[in-house]
Structure 1
Amino acid sequence: MFVRLLAATAVSLVIAVLIYFSPSIISHFPVPMVINLVNKEHPTNEVYYPMKITFRQSGGYAGLRLGYEVETASLPAEEVTKLESLVQQSGILQTGNTTNTTPAARDLLQYQITVETQGISHQVSFDDLSILPGMEPLLDYLQNHARAV
């Protein structure tokens, strides 16, 4: 009986710490979280897996390097829904780690997109001539948010 009470107290303490430090701690866990603990704008009955998305663009004639990094736990609900839809549509989570570039084309823009979710990292690299099917809407979104790095 005492052991159960002690275990229940420990679990309550862990939950209280997580709530106090959210989203900085919660966004690093690869398990589903109640969205309300991560971002107050989300309805409390939804569950999702936080994602971290990293985008890098380089090359081209000018050699400009652009980048964008975002964690979905820090975004408003509408933006999370849009970004998750674009990631699903791109197929990056099903593709796995792939590199698809054109070796002879030196002045093309090179892209690298990494999506981390549930403790797994999915990375794709491609250029303007080898854009993967379904990737263009996500690429457009990321390019619109990217800044010089």
Structure 2
Amino acid sequence: MRIEFRASGGFAGMNIDAVAESEAFDAELLEELETLIQTSAFFETKQGFFHRPKSGTGEIAVYRLKLQDEKRKNSLSFSDMDMPPEMSKLFNFVLQLTNQSR
């Protein structure tokens, strides 16, 4: 599975742009990733309720996650203000994965 993750903004002014292949991770991490994908219904969720923060709100972070495997593909973006809790768990896990792979 191809994983593309981008995070920008926030109080710390982060700027993360990472790409990884799931084959680079061990079986335990892959199992947890797949569980979070299923729990969050990532591939079934359609973008449509993301509202980009207004300019001047630099302390709000914006995240984009794109996942693609042989059969599925989806890309979702959220800010700190509108990310659903079930997506937050997945996005935080991917953030940790991408931090480990850099």
The TM-score range, normalised by the shorter chain, is 0.7 to 0.9
- The residue number in structure 1 matching 2:96 is 144
**Corresponding pairs, count:** 98
Query: Which runs of 5 or more residues in structure 1 are unaligned?
Result: 1-50
| Pair 86,99 (structure 1): closer, same or farther in 2 beyond 3 Å | same
- SS of the residue corresponding to residue 77 of structure 2 reads strand
- The residue number in structure 1 matching 2:54 is 104
Query: Which runs of 5 or more residues in structure 2 are unaligned?
Result: none
Give the TM-score normalised by structure 2: 0.78
1:126 to 53, 78, 84: 78
Q: Is the 8 A contact 1:112 1:126 kept in 2?
A: yes
Residue-by-residue CA offset, 1:13-44 (whole Å, 9 max, x unaligned): xxxxxxxxxxxxxxxxxxxxxxxxxxxxxxxx
2:19 to 58, 69, 74: 69
Q: Is the 8 A contact 2:8 2:63 kept in 1?
A: yes
Give the TM-score normalised by structure 1: 0.56
Q: Percent identity?
A: 27
2 CA distance for matches of 1:110 and 1:138? Answer: 15
